[in-house]
Amino acid sequence: MQSQRELIVTQNTTLDGVIDATEGWFTPAGDDNEDIEAALRRQMQAQDALLLGRRTFEEMRGYWPLQTDDTTGIADHLNAVQKYVMSSTLKDPEWENTTVLRGALQIEVEALNAAPGGAIGITGSISLMHALIAAGLVDEYRLFVYPVVLGRGARLFDNATNAPKLRLVEATPFRSGVVLLSYRPG
């Protein structure tokens, strides 16, 4: 029997749970981020699909395909990986390996999970992420927690009644002070 794919949230967050990156807080302190980049590469190797909301997709499409000197491997991964965009308004995605999903969220995600392949990643996409959490569709949360407190901004869990019960499966500290916390529902 084939195992089902998993939907894995990867999110940068502050100590107080803010995921809104408009203030540029998620740049690690210092220049030595090789340990974080290595963790990201391991995650990317396990993913063969990426699910995004339209706004995050458009921001990424406007940036990553233009990066020709990226040594992290992120640009190569994002350009090659199969991308799925939840949108009722996006016509032509204008980025290779992209499929626009227009159906009901639950049905579209269940279809993606039932298809053969590796993990499906999701990052950014705050509105979509909130809908996925509310529907109980997230299999794992990988949170890069930055040693920053903002006190304002959009949060991963927008209210306490929306937050699932989570169990810690891994904690990885990095030299910059960032910590990767991985949680699974349950």
Residues 85-138 have pLDDT tens digits of 999 999 999 999 999 999 999 999 999 999 999 999 999 899 999 999 989 999
Q: What is the pLDDT of residues 39-94, one digit of tens each?
A: 888 888 889 999 999 999 999 999 999 988 888 888 999 999 999 999 999 999 99
| pLDDT above 90 (res 151) | no
Closest CA to 124 of 27, 59, 48: 59
Q: Indicate whether 2 belongs to any domain.
A: no
End-to-end CA distance of the chain: 24
Which alpha helices (H) appear in the chain, and where do they start and end? 34-46, 54-61, 74-80, 105-114, 126-134
Average pLDDT, the chain: 89
Question: Does residue 19 sit within a domain?
Answer: yes
Determine the pLDDT at residue 99: 96
Q: In what order do the strands lie in the sheet with 47-53?
A: 98-101, 82-86, 47-53, 119-122, 7-14, 140-146, 179-185, 166-173
Number of domains in the chain: 1
- The β-bridge relationship of strands 47-53 and 119-122 is parallel
28 pLDDT band, cuts 50/70/90, is low
Is 117 among the domain residues?
A: yes
What pLDDT does 65 receive? Answer: 93
Domain boundaries, position 159 = 7-185
pTM for this structure?
0.90
CATH code of the domain in which 68 resides: 3.40.430.10
What pLDDT, on the 0 to 100 scale, is given for residue 26? 65
Is the per-residue pLDDT at 159 higher than 90?
no
Whether residue 53 lies inside any domain: the answer is yes
Compute the distance between CA of residue 158 and CA of residue 177 in angstroms, rounded to an integer. Answer: 25
Cβ contact 14:150 at 8 Å: yes
**Residue 1 has what pLDDT?**
46
| Residue 150 located in a structural domain | yes
Tell me, yes or no, whether 1 lies in a domain.
Answer: no
